[in-house]
A and B are shown apart, each in its own frame.
Chain A
Amino acid sequence: MKEMSHLERLEATMKGEADRVAVFDFSCISMSQSQGYIWDDVRYDVDTSVEILKKHAKAVRHDMTYGPIEPNAIYHDLDMKASFSKNNYSGILGAYFETPEDIDSKELYDLKDSSTCPHAYSGLIAKTEAFAKAFEKDESRTAIANVCWGPFTITGFLRGVENLLMDTFIAPADAEKAYSKGEKLFEDFAEVTLNMGIDVFYSGDPTSSGDMIDIDTFRKYSVPTYSRIHQMAKNKYGIPSVLHICGNTSNLVPAIPDSKCDGFSFDYMNDLASFKEEIGDRVVLTGNIPPVDVIWKGTPDSIMMAGKKCIEQAGKGGRFMLASGCEHPRDTPLENAIALREAAEKYGKY
């Protein structure tokens, strides 16, 4: 049987018909680091980022990836306090809506107008467009995903995570108002990037972690938004959606299919086998090798073994993507990223 291309394999994985287990490359800053770049030189540089992604994709040959984007770039145009490490992602130190009154009175920029948010474009959106364009004529390409924070996480950045969490409990009207602003930013981001020719719509939502909120809160805020956007990605643009939530998500699992994501990516401390049993017939499970102890600190051999274990737990019947439980740590060696694909080739054939 002829080996599937990356795009064919990703599409087939969503139907449980792939030739082997697909691999999601959870690299971002690590692909910059492994090529000897300093993040300050990559953070807002679209051309350099494209070159890094091209070289990385050629080396690792995973089935789905995204490029070296600055994840917090969407906040850099809001005059929020931020810290900029020379060779690391930026950190957001303050909140935009510091008081409940700010939620009403302070406007956000128009994400559809690049002149109002130049950093969001150079750090994230223009890069996404450039990544998609750089690979569009290459039929053998890895599937290119956009990257966006989920709506609850965006709202947490805008309002301050602790404020948002407390508001959901003691001031739900304020939480809902703030969420509607964060949701709008997420929806605008989705609309802009879905028009750029990406192959997968991808969101990361650490603040929706089951370590932080219960399933009712997840259902109330995040699920309806995801459901709408994920269905739009599928029905209007014909592409799948993958949702990643950090930390322990076992309490949220029953609600994951309601988000209408095609793939659910989750962290290493979750029980892959039980997730497979619970929702594996409805969602492509993606994960969940420990990012620090195995992906970063491990060896190609230990990654092969961890990959084999994951495939044994969730590969049966297809609808599984092998991946790290969360983003590859910055200093992950390139050979470790490659070993993930080799594990799928060796142990994941159907």
Chain B
Amino acid sequence: MNKEDILKDLENSVTTYDVKLAKSSAQAALDANVDPVIAINEGLVVGMGIISDRYAEHKIYLPQVLVAATCMYAGLDILIPAIPVENMQNSKKCATAVVEGDVHDIGKNIVKTMLTAGGYIVSDLGKDVSPNTIVEIAEKEGIGCVCLSTLMTPTLDNMKRTLDLMNETGYRSKCIVTIGGPPTSPDFAAGIGADHKDTDAQNCVGWLKEAWS
């Protein structure tokens, strides 16, 4: 197979929800000495971009997005370890977390997927994450953008607590913070000192690309 066919297979594996094809075409890319970064960006990421567009247009819904993401991650699991470490060092790093007290993580997982598809290195801190943990890991890993999510209104204040702690430690000045989830709003984001609020993961990545250029 030539490079173009392999890249097309990687793209198609995501858009046709074919996890076997994702694995086999990722391996084929390595076997054919295709640069894994190109395989990711011009194959898997292109496919996930198509999925994102379909989702934004309400042509597909979360079940399809989640399965497509599973395919993308299956390919990434094979391709990322093949990227030389020195090539990863300049990549922009993001962290995603559902704030303390909340365990609803679908929105966060979609943001993680879209960020990954957007070329960012993503540390997923999980759900029900304390402000201390978020700030500690952000500092330790040199995270440049923290994405906080919550579905519930009672846990909104834990977004503020996280930002307050980032201000206290001084890390806030080194880090973009974006928030999301149904109860959040631009006014709320401004009130707690976040840089951005979005309820659409793809829009959020688009905003980040401009804000963090």
For A267, the chain B residues whose CB sits under 8 A away are 182
For A327, the chain B residues whose CB sits under 8 A away are 153
Q: Which residues of B156-173 have CB atoms within 8 Å of chain A's CB atoms?
A: 156-157
Which listed residue (A92, A169, A292, A328) contacts B64, Cβ 8 A? A169
B101 within 8 A of A: yes
Shortest beta-carbon distance from B82 to chain A in Å: 27
Residues of chain B at interface, number, CB under 8 A: 32
B185 within 8 A of A: yes
Q: CA of A211 to CA of B200 in the docked complex: distance in angstroms?
A: 10
The answer to whether A292 and B128 have CB atoms under 8 Å apart is no
Q: CA of A247 to CA of B17 in the docked complex: distance in angstroms?
A: 26
Which listed residue (B128, B152, B182, B185) contacts A89, Cβ 8 A? B152
Q: CA of A326 to CA of B153 in the docked complex: distance in angstroms?
A: 9
Q: Give the tally of cross-chain contacts (CB within 8 A).
A: 85
Q: Which residues of B66-116 have CB atoms within 8 Å of chain A's CB atoms?
A: 66-67, 70, 100-104, 106, 109
The answer to whether A170 and B67 have CB atoms under 8 Å apart is yes
For A66, the chain B residues whose CB sits under 8 A away are none
B184 within 8 A of A: yes
The answer to whether B61 and A292 have CB atoms under 8 Å apart is no
For A170, the chain B residues whose CB sits under 8 A away are 17, 67
A217 within 8 A of B: yes
A40 within 8 A of B: no
Q: CA of A292 to CA of B188 in the docked complex: distance in angstroms?
A: 8
| Chain B minimum-CB-distance residue to A328 | B153
B206 within 8 A of A: no
The answer to whether B188 and A297 have CB atoms under 8 Å apart is yes
For A214, the chain B residues whose CB sits under 8 A away are 61
Q: Which residues of B6-45 have CB atoms within 8 Å of chain A's CB atoms?
A: 17
Q: CA of A296 to CA of B155 in the docked complex: distance in angstroms?
A: 13
The answer to whether A329 and B156 have CB atoms under 8 Å apart is yes
For B196, the chain A residues whose CB sits under 8 A away are none
For A247, the chain B residues whose CB sits under 8 A away are 182
A83 within 8 A of B: yes
If A91-B101, A91-B103 touch, whether A29 touches B154 (CB-CB below 8 Å) is yes
Q: CA of A251 to CA of B157 in the docked complex: distance in angstroms?
A: 31
A4 within 8 A of B: no
Q: Which of A158-166, A281-289, A341-349 contacts B (4 or more CB under 8 A)?
A: A158-166
Beta-carbon contacts of A247-286 to B below 8 Å, as 1s and 0s?
1000100000000000000010100000000000000000
For B128, the chain A residues whose CB sits under 8 A away are 83, 91, 93
Q: CA of A85 to CA of B128 in the docked complex: distance in angstroms?
A: 10
Shortest beta-carbon distance from B105 to chain A in Å: 8
The 5 nearest A-B residue pairs measured at CB: A329-B153, A91-B103, A330-B154, A169-B63, A165-B63
Beyond the given A92-B103, A93-B103, A330-B153, please list 7 additional residue pairs across the A-B interface where CB-CB is below 8 A. A91-B103, A162-B66, A213-B61, A213-B62, A214-B61, A247-B182, A292-B156
